[in-house]
Amino acid sequence: YSSEDMKVLDKKSFKLPGVREFHWSPAQNVFAAFVPAQDAGQSPARVVLVEVPSRKELRQKNLFSVAETQMYWHPDGTYLAVKVDRQKTKKTTTYSFELFRLKERDIPIEVLEIPTQVINFAWEPKGHRFALVHGDPPRVDISFYTMLKEGKAVVSLLKTLEKKPVNEVFWSPAGHHVVLAGMKSLNGILNFFNADDMETMNEDEHFMCTDLCWDPTGRYVCTYVSAFRQPMENGYVIWNFAGKAQHRVNKDKFFQFIWRPRPPSLLSAKQEREIRKALPDYSAKYQEEDRKAKELAESAATREKEAKRALFDEGEARRKQLYLEWQAERREIRGCLTDDEDNYELVEETFEEVLELKEEKI
C-alpha cells in the first residue's frame, strides 16, 4: 500500500505464491520474503529480495530440505542473516546462516555452518559484528563473528565463550558493549562484555529478571522484574555499561520500564567515526580544561577561607579593644580589678554517687 492514499501500490499485489513470511529492511525500500518448497519438493524453497516500488528482484537464494527459517536484518540494512534449519533425518537437524551483503555489488551471499542448535542471534548496531548463542541449554556457547576481517568482506570467528548460562543477547545501541543474559528460568545472570577487547567487564545477577533495556546513549542499562511475567521480586536495577549497579528499586506490582527516547543524531555516520577516532585527543583536551577548572575552584576556595579568617581576626581585634576600653567601667562597678587571673584560686572537687548496685551469685 501507498502511505499517501492508502491504496494498493500500482493497483496490484506482489506475486509470491505460497509466501510464508516477509520482513522489511530497516533502512531501504527492500523486503526479504521466504517462499517454502512447492510441488512436493520439485520447486525448492527460496529467499528473495525485492525492491519497492520497482518490484525488481535484487537477489534470490534457493534452499533445500528446509525445516524452518528465521530472518534477521541488520539495524541499518547493511546485512541480512537468514537462519536455516534443515531436517536431514528424523533425528538429525543441521543449522546454518545465509548472510547477504546488501551494500555490495550483486549482493553476495556467504554460508555459515553452525554445528549445534542455534538459540539466539543478534547484530551489533553501528557495526559489523554479530553474536550467536548455540548449544544445549542451560549452559551454551556464545560466538562472536565479524563480517569484515582486516577490511575485507569475509565472515570470521572472533571468539567463543563456552558453557555459559545465557539465553539472551542485548547489544548496546552504540555497539561495542553487550550484555549476555540468563533471563527468566536462568534467574537473571548477567555478563557485561566488552566486544572490542573480547573480555568480561563484570558478572552479576538480578534475581528472577524478566526484561532488559539499554538507554539510547548506550551508557546505562536497566534490568527489571515485571509483574506481567513474575508476581514476586518486582522492581528494577539501573547499571552502567560496565556492569556496576547505580540504583535499585523494589516495588510491588511494577510492570514496565521505558527509557525516554532521544532525537536522531545531527552528525553523519562519517562524522561520528571521525570523532570516535579522534577521541583520545578530545579526552586530553577536556582533561586539561577540567584540571584548570579544578585549580581555579581550589584557589577560589582558598581565597574564601583567607577572607573569612581575616574577617574573624578583625572582629577579634575589635573585641579586645572594647575589652580594654571597658576596663575602667568594670573596676568602678565591681570595686576592684577583676581582670588578673592571679587574683583567683581554682578549686576542683569530685563527687561520687552510686546509681545502681547489683549482686550476682556464682
Average pLDDT over residues 13-40: 92
Element (H, E) at 87: strand 79-87
**Contact at 8 Å (CB) between 88 and 67?**
no
Does the pLDDT of residue 20 top 60, yes or no?
yes
How do residues 69-102 score in pLDDT, each as one tens digit?
A: 999 999 999 999 999 999 888 888 999 999 999 9
Q: Residue 342's pLDDT is what? A: 64
Taking residues 325-337, what's their average pLDDT? 78
Mean pLDDT of the region 42-49? 92
Residue 159 pLDDT > 60: yes
The Cβ of residue 60 has, within 10 Å, a number of other Cβ atoms equal to 14
Record the pTM. Answer: 0.75
The string of pLDDT tens digits covering residues 248-272 is 999 999 999 999 998 888 888 889 8
Binned at pLDDT 50, 70 and 90, residue 337 comes out as low
pLDDT for 360 equals 82
pLDDT tens string 291-314: 999 988 888 888 899 999 999 999
For residue 334 the three cell numbers come to 565591681
Strands 235-240 and 220-225: antiparallel
Which of the four pLDDT bands, split at 50, 70 and 90, describes residue 347?
confident
Residue 109: strand pairing partners: 100
Average pLDDT of the residues in 105-119:
94
Q: Which residues of 322-333 are buried (b: 16+ CB within 10 A; e: fewer)?
A: eeeeeeeeeeee
CA distance 140 to 204: 18
CA–CA gap between residue 270 and residue 23 (Å, rounded): 28
